[in-house]
Structure formats: C-alpha cells, structure tokens
A and B are shown apart, each in its own frame.
Chain A
Amino acid sequence: MMSKPKVFEKPVGVKDYLPLAVTKLRQIERSVLTCMEGWGYEQIITPTLEYYDTVGVASSTSDQRLFKLLNNRGTTLVLRSDMTAPIARVVASLLRSREFPLRLSYHASVFRAFENEAGRDAEFFQAGVELVGDSSAEADAEVIALAIASLQAAGVKRFRIAVGHVGFLNGLLEELLPGRESDQSKLKDYLLNRDHVGYRDELKRLGLRECVQRELEGLLRLRGGREICEQAIELSTNETARQSVGHLRQIWDALEAYGVSAHVLIDLTMIGDFSYYTGMTFEGYASDLGFPVVAGGRYDNLLQQFGRSAPATGFAIKTTRVLELVGEESEPQRRILIGYNNAGRRLAFAEANRLRESGAKVVTALLEAPGVHHGDEPVTSGDRQPAAAGVEQIDRKVRRLPDGESVSYGGQVYGVFLPFFEEEAAEKGAAL
C-alpha cells in the first residue's frame, strides 16, 4: 500500500504552521480567549492523552474516528477528540466541590482520524467554552451570544448561526408516528445526513395520511426567525415538542436582548448527533468558507457518565479554520538588528534587553567591524545581488536598504540596525 515515507512527508491530515500563519493564529486565539475571559469564563488545560474507556467512550466522536494507542501496560489510550469530555471529567473530579454554574474555557488541539476525507484535518485547534450546571434557556442564549462575540473578536465579518433543538423533532415524530421507532429513526437519519430527497421519499413510502405527510414535509421549510417558533408550536400537541419550541423562543428573546438575533436563523431540521446532544444545537457559518466554523449545543447526559450529573451547554470555534478566513493583518512589527563585535558585546546585550523589556523584537549578531573584509569566507545567498543605488554595505553580511532605515541580514529584513562596535560602544558608553 503505502511506500516508506519520504523525509519531507508527514502523516495525512496534520499540518505545519509557519511564522506568519502562527502570528495570525496566536492573534485569533488571544482575541477569542480574551473575549471569553471577559464573559467570566476561566481557562483550563487538560492532557492530550486520555483513557479510551472514560473520555474516549464518552466523547461524541465515533469510535473509528478516535486515534487509539496503547501505553506500556497495554491500556488503550486516545488522543483527545474534543475538549468537552475531558472538561466533564475535570468538573466531576477535581472541581467536584466547586458549586454550579461553572464557566470554563479552553484553547487546544484535538485529533480525529479521517479516511478519504480530504480537507479535514486530523489535528486542528479549537477554542471553546462549557457552561456547566445551568439548564436554562438563558444559559443556552449566553453561549450562542458568546459564540457570536468570539467570531467577531476573531475578525470574522460575515457569518450566520443556525439554531435547532433535538426535542422538537423527537416530540413531533412521536406524536405523528406513535410507537414506530424504526420509521422515526430512519427519518431522523435522513435529516442528519442532510438528505432531503431521501426524507421526502421515505415519507411517501410510509403511506401516511395526507395531512401528516404534508406536515412532516413542511418541516424542511421551517427556517427563519422567531415566527418559526410560532408556526412550529401550532404543528404539535406533543409535550416534548412544545417545550422544545418554547425553550427556543426563550433563547431567541434573550438573543434579541443581547442585540445579536440578526445573525441567528432558527432551523428545526438541524438536529446534530442524537446520542450526544439533548437540547438546543447550533452551528456557525462564515461566507467564503465551505465548512462550519462553530459547533455547539446542550449535552445534559454527559456529566453523569463521570459521576456528577449536571446539565451543560457549550461550543467550540475552529481557530485554524478562521485562520483561512481572516485576511492578512497589517505588516507585523519589524525586528531590530543589533550588530556587535567583541568589544561592544556587553553594551549590545544590555541594550537588547532594555529594548525587549519595552516590547521590541530584537535579534543580536556578532559582526566584523565595518570595513574589514575577508575574501575567503562564503557570502550568504541573500546578499549576492549587486548593490543598488542607495544601498550601503555596513558589514560583509549587513546591507542598508534604500529607505535608509531598514537593513538586510542573512536574507531577512530588519526595521532598524543598531551598531555596537568599538568606537560607537565607547561613544554610547559616554552618552549613557
């Protein structure tokens, strides 16, 4: 199958991030985490490795998508596939005595194995929050509003959030197809797989009464604002369905109060993974990006698997995906080059530290005193171009560029050059 990897290759689905991308990624990360901190969420870090039997089994990631490995005792471990299950473990153990509600945030890389699914990373970065111990619509609205604030903080301009509720569909189907569980789950599977054609065909196959079929088909069009809740509540007398819609309506009202409902679309066919989500679910989409950037929802059954039953809601934002979206930031701050020789070294290092403390980026380099040239040493490739007008050769390896300020050294450009050679050193020393 696969030949021996070549030296430049890495496993499928993992990525390197080069300095410019990392600068941007860190900026996004910082903005998002600062935003979450501003909403009173405390950041935590959990290990990359977890036990398969605890966090692995509890996570929403399907078994064949977990990276599994064995430790030296033969116990199966997993690379964490999300942060929600590890946080549930911490909340139920180390934070057991802390009272609810708990507001926790994180930024971490997570791992998921994919086959034949190009464009999906096996390792990617997520920032997110979990709000544990509050089952109210207010809590759900808070995480949605925070997801919106986080997207804005990350610099995403055009986006939309779709909100659904697993309870509505469950209730409606139980009312219209009472006791027909396999038919119900077939219909839900079609919706989960986004196959509206299959859903309609299945409805026809079921041979339902005309009005029931029309009602279930109409579900596909239940998308929009608060008015969708009014329409949906008319559709069902089932208690679960009505409660779910009522809950969504409360969420909508809260989001309106936050002033963010213009970004939100209610979609009652958006259901998420049934085995995991128990209430409201949502996804965030940004234009010019083919894949969702935010996913979240309520998962009231997860915590009990770790021995501390509690309702919980949260979301994660894929910061590596936001990275593809956010345009080039303004030119990063230029670095300063301090050139010194043996005589100037002490002062050069002192100046470099002073500048670094004030936030500057400083590189130091041992240079020859100006004017000294050794013909036998190789010249670095970056400096091989013929000197253009206004380019001054400061040292064999350092050239001043035509703007009179910046210099080139080792093929890279520095905004400022500060020399610390003998004479200047003495001069500087006198000036201090």
Chain B
Amino acid sequence: MSSGIGASQDILKVAMPKGRIYKQASRLFREAGLLIQDDLEDTRKLIIEVPDAGMEFIMAKPVDVPTYVEYGVADIGVVGKDVLMEENKDVYELLDLGIAPCRMSVIGLPDWKPVINPRVATKYPNVASQYFRERGQQVEVIKLNGSIELAPLIGLADRIVDMVETGQTLRDNGLIEMEPMFGVTSRLIANRVSYRMKNDRIQSLCDRLQATLSSRV
C-alpha cells in the first residue's frame, strides 16, 4: 500500500443499531479482539467513544444506519439485510456478519385463496413491491409500522410481508409462512469515501471479523 495518505487513518465512526442486533454485534467485535466494554448500551448517550478500539459508536435506530453511512457521517455501520434492501442506499456491503439470522417471508391465513385485488401489508413496501413485480403480480402494498400480523386477521390485507425469526408470533395468531423470500442477517457496510480514505483500517477490521466468523463455524 502506498503510505501517502496515512494521516487519514484516524478514528473510525461506526453506526451501531440499538437493541437486539447491538448485543450480538458488539460480542462479535469483542471476539475479533476489539476492546469494547460490554455495558456501553446501558448509557443513554447517543455518541459513545471506544478509544481502545479506535472507534466511536453512533447509536442509531437500525433503519437509519444506512442513511448515516451513505452521507458519510459514519464510516461504517452494522445493519440487517432487510433494512439494506428496503432503503437501497449507495454503500459498500462488505461482510455478512451472520448475526441476527431470520428470513423475509410472505405470510397469510392457512385458507388463503387468490383474490382479484390483492393487498399486502408490510413494513417493507419497496421490498414487497419489487418481489411481487418480479413475479408478474400486481398487488396493492400497504405500509404499516408495527403489528403487521393484524392486517390479515382484521381484513386489511390478504397477505403480509414480514421478517420471521422463530415463527412463534405467526403460530400464536393462526398465520402460516406461505413463501420464504430470502434469508436475512446483519451486514457490515461502509461509506464510499471512507472505504478508500480509511482503506487500511476498514480492511483490517474486515479481515479480523472474517477470521472470527470462519472460526465460529
């Protein structure tokens, strides 16, 4: 590597998703040898310095992680493939971290029959529209923000598109998984400029994470 621009290899700003994925991601980072305290998420601070790892965590709502990274206010980020597909931002998708595995599926009532004007409720309108379009089906996509499972039960939609982890919520509500669409895990993403300007830091982080991941299997 040419060392001409070594000065730019300073603090790495990492957009971390708050909640479920954070715990698994920080555990993976620690396993890869990064010095990250395990109680960081207990604070209410939104920007947390992790000096021993040469990082700064930006604690973000998961769905906003790709936005921070695209604009370059964060150099890299950890985010689910579901969000990446929905948001469709211009970022590097560097590594499958294998954490928080689940799948995106089409879900409905067991007695579902094709209807003339199909309606699909989802938190992922772009993903759902694209999926049905590619299959030559025109459906009305209804964007909901939570409790998607309600939609077929109360007749708002005949099917839904949502993430399935264990399938327990579906069973509890008498729904079935009709078609699995694609698997979802969390990904390491990078900003286009940071990927070049902080190339050494990002590449070495990738290498360490990849080594950890392959030793896990």
Contact = CB atoms under 8 A, between A and B. Distances in A.
Given A224-B1, A261-B2, A290 B7 contact: no
Nearest to B88: A116
A119 B71 contact: yes
Interface in A157-193: 158-160, 162
Contacts of B8: 158, 160, 287
Interface stretch (B18-26, B37-45, B114-122, B187-195): B187-195
Contacts, number: 75
A290 B71 CA distance: 5
Interface residues of A, number: 30
Contacts of A283: 196
B217 interface: no
Nearest to A196: B94
B110 interface: no
Contacts of A286: 193, 197
Given A196-B93, A197-B95, A289 B4 contact: no
B201 to A, nearest CB: 13
| B interface SS class | mixed
A91 to B, nearest CB: 31
A196 B92 CA distance: 7
A197 B70 CA distance: 17
A264 interface: yes
B90 interface: yes
A7 interface: no
Interface residues of B, number: 27
A133 interface: no
Nearest to B68: A290
A196 B1 CA distance: 21
Interface string B89-107: 0111111100000000000
A158 B96 contact: no
A334 interface: no
Interface in A110-151: 119
Contacts of A285: 192-193, 196-197
B64 to A, nearest CB: 12
Contact of A224 (B2, B5, B71, B192): B2
Contacts of A100: none
A194 B89 CA distance: 11
Interface string A242-276: 00000000000000000001111101000000000
A263 B4 contact: yes
Contacts of B129: none
Contacts of A13: none
Interface in B142-198: 187, 191-194, 196-197
A201 B7 CA distance: 34
B73 interface: yes
B199 interface: yes
Nearest to B91: A194
B72 interface: yes
Given A223-B199, A225-B2, A291 B187 contact: no
Contact of B197 (A196, A197, A264, A287): A287
A155 interface: no
B72 A289 contact: yes
Nearest to B67: A118
A351 B117 CA distance: 79
A289 B93 contact: no
B12 to A, nearest CB: 13
Contacts of A101: none
Contacts of B93: 194-198
B76 to A, nearest CB: 12
A200 B3 CA distance: 29
Nearest to A270: B196
A261 B70 CA distance: 28
B72 A160 contact: no
Contacts of A267: 196
Nearest to B3: A262
Contacts of B194: 290
A192 B17 CA distance: 26
Nearest to B97: A197
B5 A194 contact: no
A160 B192 contact: no
Given A197-B187, A223-B199, A262-B4, A291 B193 contact: yes
26 contacts: A158-B197, A160-B5, A160-B197, A162-B196, A194-B90, A194-B92, A194-B93, A196-B92, A197-B93, A197-B94, A197-B187, A198-B93, A200-B96, A225-B1, A225-B2, A261-B2, A263-B4, A265-B2, A265-B196, A283-B196, A287-B197, A290-B71, A290-B191, A290-B193, A290-B194, A291-B192
Given A194-B93, A285-B196, 20 more contacts: A119-B70, A158-B5, A158-B8, A194-B90, A194-B91, A194-B192, A196-B95, A197-B94, A197-B95, A221-B203, A224-B1, A262-B2, A265-B199, A267-B196, A285-B193, A285-B197, A290-B71, A290-B194, A291-B193, A292-B193
Q: Which 3 A-B pairs have the closest CB atoms?
A: A290-B72, A262-B4, A285-B193
